[in-house]
Chains A and B, each alone.
Chain A
Amino acid sequence: MIKTFEELYSKQHDCAVCLASKFKGEEGKRAVVICGGTGCLSSNSAQIKERFESLVEEKGLSNHVTVNQVGCFGFCSQGPFVKIFPEDTLYRGVSVEDVDEIVEKDLIGDQIVERLLYVDPATHTKVAKQDDINFYKKQHRIALEECGMIDPENIDEALGAGAFAGLARVLKMDRQAVIDEILASGLRGRGGAGFPTGRKWQFAYNQPDGEKYVVCNGDEGDPGAFMDRSILEGNPLAVIEGMMIAGYAIGAQNGYFYIRAEYPIAVHRIQLGIKQAQKLGLLGDNILGTGFSFHAHIRLGAGAFVCGEETALLNSIQGQRGMPRPRPPFPAVKGLWDCPTIVNNVETLSVIPYIMRNGADSFASFGTSGSKGTKVFALGGKINNVGLVEVPMGTTLRELIYDIGGGIPNGRKFKAIQTGGPSGGCLTEKDLDTEIDFDTLRERGSMMGSGGAIVMDEDNCMVDVAKFYMEFICDESCGKCSHCRIGTKRMLEILEKICEGKGTIEDIDQLEILASTIHVGALCALGQTAANPVLSTLRSFREEYIEHVRDKKCHAHVCKNLMMYVINPEKCKGCSACARHCPVEAIVGVVKSPYAIDQNKCIKCGMCQSTCRFGAIDKI
């Protein structure tokens, strides 16, 4: 049990020495860390860790080699990752079978296993160290700092990396001074709207004393964004500490984590973090003898996107349907069980300890004039380096897509990047040099959202993308207000009509009218922003809509009714593979002479194209 500040400092010191010796390789020590994030776990990283453990034991290396799992490295498309300290060698795409070679060659023979290194796609050179990989070079990590470094299931490693130092400083400060420091840091909510965090806290602080709550919004529903998941999985104690600091500042003694049920590993690690902190006396009653008490609880989501909206989330915790409440009153005045409540996003809470440990200026030294600090983006879609990246606000989209993301795969052309998920919009070539922050993205017709950034190339049809988001919203609309419930359904029907080649020019005008009506009439942010993907694609790709309507063509060949598969008789060898795989027997022909597709029978499943070894089947 840690009961005083002195005991905490001495524990932190011991843990820091221990952690440093692991990384620095003192006395010939080596450390093997293996990614334990969701992406790598799905590619057997748990078995990789077991194999390392048993081999280290078997070869008698236990005295100087430690094996740990760590949080997500962020570069998920290249996983599973194994990193060796102190050399800092990063192996990628490791399989269980590779472990023997790494142990023999690297741990015993001190040689790098070249074939498992990252290969730079542009220069084709092998890169041994993480920091030399382009994907990591331009990043600056605050929220993700310890992800990929410490064992998220071991509080000692977190303490060694500085956990609870921020809280220790805060507990000696005046509550108002804590809020002032957060205000000075310029931190804005990372969940989407970008509301200044300090101001939110101030509202709750100003409410009369009594029961108050802190809620951590871990209902990361934006499809394509997974930074909250990685932070919860990679450094759970930072989020717990952030919540405690918020609780101290506003005068709350209880905090609730609301986490999606789809994130079992994140839930498990927060649970474990809470238990370990309680055991050390860092969470509970009379923390460090200061009289400050704080208790953390976990609530699971049950699969409703709208629960990411703060008032719907509160209803869900209260055991009700997750439907938004009208605001005002804002949660800071009347929130959970009608008590003053602040709802902060996972990423927001995770940077609070950094700010309180290093001071507001350190955080505010990054970013633009209106948006301070760094932001985590989830780069996905048609991009070479898929993964999580944390960059200072003000980084341009071009840097994000080309320098960090490594550009578009297969030599295809960049078409658009969707930021802000279903509430955001598409940005195009002309926006690439925009410095990303909350305000510039909004000016350009999109938004930051939680940081999802999906890249699309020329093979993506923008009408289809708009339809995809509208389907999502339609499905997830809670049904409380008619604008969102009925309006989005009507918009979806029009988009489906256009994609089927049955649309008219008037339909496009109808879409715009409906969009503005929903924007004005909907109750919550989900509804108000529901039409954004349609509006932004209409703005940037209007000609594509018109093409679907007037020429009945989808030049990306995505909309099934507007494209067909044909066999190029010059390339067809007559091998009959496509005909044998066609589920509807639409392909006919005689062996060794070109086959043909019966368009009346074809269901456009694309099976033939993926079967053909000669590239003889084209989409037109």
Chain B
Amino acid sequence: MAHLSEAAVGKINEICSRYVDEKTPLMMILSDIQREYGYIPLEVQELVSKNTGISVAEIFGVVSFYSFFSLQPKGKYVIGCCLGTACYVKGAQKVIDKFSDLLGIKPGETTEDGMFTIDALRCLGACGIAPAVSINGKVYPKVEINEVSKIIEELKSQEGDKI
């Protein structure tokens, strides 16, 4: 557990303590950690194991099963392209290909500067506005391929403003 800062250890212990009254708290603990840090590396799993008494093997099994839990850090902007049926028949594949093309990464990967991750999502339930793209929770409706570069530029310029 050498890599974890004291603050991180404290935070994770606190997250675990939120659910001491629950019969089976593992999913809730992992969800909170994923939301807080964006990923759940092995060191953190070991700490959760120490707190809950659940074996690391079992925790790893759960983390690797669900697509929301990630072992690697994700980009600052997670571009979730919906590939549900309604989006797919309206050309979502071309939209995600375009993002891949412009960012030079495949779905599931993160750009080297840690800025962007592309995820292929399974139906956002926003079929009325297909094809839909969700970036850090904000849903972009009826995305066309020639809008893709504009979306990326917008995100980059938001970043520029902050520096």
Contacts and interface: CB of A to CB of B under 8 A. Distances in A.
Interface of A: 38-39, 41-43, 75-77, 79, 220-226, 229, 260-264, 299-305, 316-322, 337, 378, 380-382, 386-388, 418, 421, 452, 454, 456, 460, 465, 468-469, 472, 475-476, 478, 583, 605-607, 610
Given A42-B140, A610-B145, A262 B85 contact: no
Contacts of A220: 125
Contacts of B140: 42
Pick the most buried of B68, B88, B121, B127: most chain A CB atoms within 10 A of its CB.
B127
B146 interface: yes
B65 A456 contact: no
A454 B85 contact: yes
Contacts of B129: 39, 42-43, 76-77, 79
Contacts of A223: 83-86, 88, 122-123
Contact of B125 (A38, A469, A478): A38
B141 A319 contact: no
22 contacts: A38-B125, A39-B129, A41-B139, A223-B84, A223-B88, A225-B125, A226-B127, A261-B68, A262-B123, A299-B27, A302-B30, A302-B31, A319-B25, A337-B23, A380-B128, A381-B85, A386-B86, A388-B128, A418-B85, A605-B97, A605-B101, A610-B146
A61 B31 CA distance: 45
Contacts of B130: 380, 386
A261 B125 CA distance: 12
Contacts of B27: 299-300, 302, 316-317, 319
B18 interface: no
Contacts of A386: 86, 127-128, 130
B160 interface: no
Contacts, number: 149
A380 B127 contact: yes
Interface of B: 23-28, 30-31, 54, 58, 61-62, 65-69, 83-86, 88-90, 94, 97, 101, 121-130, 132, 137-141, 145-146
Nearest to A385: B128
B88 A468 contact: yes
A16 B69 CA distance: 45
Contact of A43 (B58, B61, B84, B141): B141
B76 to A, nearest CB: 19
A427 B125 CA distance: 23
B101 A76 contact: no
B87 to A, nearest CB: 8
A262 B134 CA distance: 10
A380 B124 CA distance: 13
Given A226-B127, A303-B122, 7 more contacts: A223-B123, A226-B123, A260-B125, A262-B124, A300-B28, A302-B68, A319-B26
Contact of B123 (A222, A456, A468): A222
A454 B121 contact: no
A319 B62 contact: yes
B152 to A, nearest CB: 15
Contacts of A378: 86, 127
A476 B83 CA distance: 13
Contacts of B128: 39, 75-77, 79, 226, 380, 386-388
B86 A319 contact: no
B30 A381 contact: no
Contacts of A322: 65-66
B72 to A, nearest CB: 16
B86 A300 contact: no
A301 B65 CA distance: 12
Nearest to B64: A321
8 closest Cβ pairs, A-B complex: A76-B128, A223-B84, A319-B26, A380-B86, A302-B66, A42-B139, A226-B125, A303-B67
A220 B124 CA distance: 10
Nearest to A226: B125
A226 B129 CA distance: 12
Given A380-B130, A454-B85, A321 B65 contact: yes
A454 B86 CA distance: 6
Contacts of B25: 319
Contact of B89 (A221, A302, A382): A382
Contacts of A300: 27-28, 31
A320 B62 contact: yes
B89 A460 contact: yes
A454 B89 contact: yes
Contacts of B84: 223-224
Contacts of B23: 318, 337
Contact of A42 (B69, B86, B132): B132
A583 B54 CA distance: 51
Contacts of B126: 38-39, 42, 76, 226
B62 A321 contact: yes
